[in-house]
């Protein structure tokens, strides 16, 4: 296997032979064997990109993109520029001039005289003092409506509603309701799928991608088009290629997945500057905790699956990336999964949540359920007899936020019947509101990222980084007969054959942002 940093130099000397057309070529951007092949590469991941790598021959990028399933190549070279290609469908993202107004402050608007002197609005005070002050002003009903992803406003305190669910797996995505493309933000930079980027074995690249994504996330938040809590990355261990979500993950190696997680989280949240208690640029979330890699197979689905896992496998394999996220990456959130682990739903297991994530790893942030997981453990898994029991079980286990309506509907009854205390609800809110405070959401309109706007989304530099990631993620498995690089003198036409030859939308991957089709196939002239 050729190291990514020397890949071009090592092959530039190859001269195509006369019988290139008969040679068999296998070129893929990523595969499930990529991390197994890591031992053939340098044992130490790249940590510094002192200069951009030399450009790969364009035929390599083209073949890798269309034959191997790479979701990037030409489509992301420049958002605002298009490239004509014959008989190819090119997907591009467009950036337009900003003409809208900025988002009004989430809370503590200086123009609101009713909140100007409230303690939780005083940015000079310690965050924990401000959090306690705000929670102390809330009624039970107001507290409960803040336990779900579409948190309600508290108008009497000048706090607006907030949608916690935004996605940024490989670029800002509108998969969650927190992101709205259109007007000044018609799209965002899309990076290669994670399984490709991870194959670069380049930690500094992963962190730089996170930094760029967070720039665009902050810009969209300032323009009212996104939240600041992004439920990414997916750090599940890939153990079965039949899962169907393999492309979302860095692969099957716990160490590689952990290093990717740490790098991407630091890039998103602000690197070492955020620390364990400091401010956040955006809040990342490592998901789905834990032993989760089955959607629908052989009569089992993710809503009913009980993963029987030994303590050693949890410690040595499945929990490795999550521990790294919390301990090394200082991630602001962890998402629990739908499945059960050894008979207990992940989101209702105090050993997994309260005792491990919070007590052992010292998460400084919040724990959120996968969407409707609390409802799933009651309605599908029948884990409790009554819905208020399910609400109480999850909150007591350490869940702070429900992606879904279940806690908003059933928590009050759980309090009234003594199954969960209002103090435990306060603990949950303290974790979520602390993250919002660290994001500066209670500091009014000012802040270190207030200047970011549409001009900072989908920039040429961001697009170049996406192209670089695509090139570094290519994995050359075979070059039989020294078929590469192709000779432009001998090979004027390249035929791309197979099911992925024109699967441009599929190659972009899931959890991707809004895309624009700028080219259509040309029909041959009759």
- Domain contains 175: yes
Is the pLDDT assigned to residue 353 strictly greater than 90?
yes
- Domain contains 478: no
Give the pLDDT of residue 438: 98
Contact of 422 with 444, CB cutoff 8 Å: no
Instruction: Tell me how many domains the chain contains.
Output: 1
Give the pLDDT of residue 279: 94
| pLDDT tens, residue by residue, 270-295 | 965 444 458 999 999 999 999 998 78
Q: Which of 157, 124, 65, 127 is nearest to 277 (CA)?
A: 127
Residue 497: exposure state from Cβ atoms within 10 A (0-12, 13-18, ≥19):
exposed
Active site residue 372: no
Q: Which of 467, 11, 8, 479 is nearest to 197 (CA)?
A: 467
| pLDDT tens, residue by residue, 239-254 | 888 888 888 999 999 9
Is the pLDDT assigned to residue 89 strictly greater than 90?
no
- Domain contains 265: yes
Q: Which of 370, 400, 402, 456 is catalytic?
A: 370
Question: 211 or 523: whose pLDDT is higher?
Answer: 211
Measured in degrees and rounded to the nearest 5, phi and psi for residue 92 equal -130, 160
Contact of 267 with 209, CB cutoff 8 Å: yes
Q: What is the CATH number of the domain that holds 364?
A: 3.20.20.300
Give the pLDDT of residue 394: 98
Contact of 476 with 7, CB cutoff 8 Å: yes
- Domain contains 100: no
| pLDDT tens, residue by residue, 139-176 | 999 999 999 999 999 999 999 999 999 999 999 999 99
Give the pLDDT of residue 92: 31
Residue 495: exposure state from Cβ atoms within 10 A (0-12, 13-18, ≥19):
exposed
Is the pLDDT assigned to residue 65 strictly greater than 50?
no
Q: Domain range holding 331?
A: 124-456
The structure's pTM equals 0.81
- Domain contains 254: yes
Is the pLDDT assigned to residue 515 strictly greater than 80?
no
- Domain contains 58: no
Give the pLDDT of residue 242: 81
Give the pLDDT of residue 76: 44
Question: 303 or 32: whose pLDDT is higher?
Answer: 303
Question: Which of the four pLDDT bands, split at 50, 70 and 90, describes residue 22?
Answer: very low
- Domain contains 348: yes
Q: What is the spatial distance between Cα 87 and Cα 67, in angstroms, rounded to a whole number?
A: 15
- Domain contains 284: yes
């Amino acid at each position: 296997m050729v190291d990514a940093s020397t890949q071009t130099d090592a092959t530039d000397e190859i001269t195509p032979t006369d019988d290139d057309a008969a040679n068999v070529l296998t070129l893929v951007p990523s595969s499930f064997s990529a991390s197994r092949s890591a031992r053939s590469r340098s044992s130490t991941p790249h940590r510094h990109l002192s200069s951009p790598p030399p450009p790969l021959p364009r035929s390599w990028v083209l073949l890798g993109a269309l034959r191997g399933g790479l979701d990037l190549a030409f489509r992301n070279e420049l958002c605002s520029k298009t490239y004509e290609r014959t008989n190819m469908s090119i997907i591009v993202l467009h950036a337009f001039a900003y003409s809208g107004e900025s988002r009004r402050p989430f809370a503590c608007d200086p123009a609101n005289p009713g909140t100007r002197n409230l303690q939780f609005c005083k940015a000079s005070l310690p965050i924990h003092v401000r959090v306690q002050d705000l929670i102390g002003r809330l009624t039970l009903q107001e507290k409960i409506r803040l336990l779900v992803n579409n948190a309600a406003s508290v108008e009497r305190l000048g706090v607006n509603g907030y949608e916690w669910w935004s996605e940024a797996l490989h670029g800002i995505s509108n998969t969650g309701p927190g992101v709205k493309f259109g007007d000044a933000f018609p799209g965002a930079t899309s990076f290669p799928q994670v399984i490709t980027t991870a194959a670069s074995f380049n930690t500094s690249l992963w962190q730089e991608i996170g930094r760029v994504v967070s720039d665009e996330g902050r810009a969209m938040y300032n323009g009212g088009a996104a939240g600041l809590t992004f439920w990414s990355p997916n750090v599940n261990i890939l153990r079965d290629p039949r899962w169907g979500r393999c492309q979302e993950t860095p692969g099957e190696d716990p160490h590689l997945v952990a290093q990717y997680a740490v790098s991407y989280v630091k890039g998103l949240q602000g690197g070492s500057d955020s620390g364990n208690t400091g401010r956040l640029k955006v809040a990342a979330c490592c998901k789905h905790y834990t032993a989760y890699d089955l959607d629908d197979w052989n009569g089992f689905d993710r809503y009913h699956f009980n993963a029987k896992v030994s303590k050693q496998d949890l410690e040595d394999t499945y929990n490795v990336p999550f521990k790294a996220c919390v301990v090394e990456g200082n991630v602001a959130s962890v998402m629990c999964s739908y499945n059960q682990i050894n008979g207990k739903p992940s989101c209702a297991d105090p050993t997994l949540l309260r005792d491990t994530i919070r007590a052992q790893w010292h998460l400084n942030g919040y724990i959120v359920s996968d969407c409707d997981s609390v409802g799933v453990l009651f309605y599908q898994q029948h884990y409790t007899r009554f819905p208020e029991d399910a609400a109480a079980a999850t909150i007591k286990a350490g869940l702070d936020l429900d992606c879904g309506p279940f806690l908003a509907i059933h928590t009050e009854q759980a309090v009234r019947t003594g199954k969960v205390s209002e103090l435990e609800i306060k603990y949950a809110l303290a974790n979520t509101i602390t993250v919002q405070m660290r994001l500066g959401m209670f500091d009014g309109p000012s802040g270190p990222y207030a200047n970011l706007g549409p001009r900072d989304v989908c920039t040429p530099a961001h697009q170049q980084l996406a192209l670089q990631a695509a090139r570094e993620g290519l994995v050359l498995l075979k070059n039989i007969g020294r078929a590469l690089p192709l000779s432009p003198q001998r090979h004027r036409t390249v035929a791309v054959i197979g099911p992925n030859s024109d699967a441009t939308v599929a190659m972009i991957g899931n959890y991707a942002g809004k895309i624009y089709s700028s080219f259509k196939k040309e029909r041959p002239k009759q």
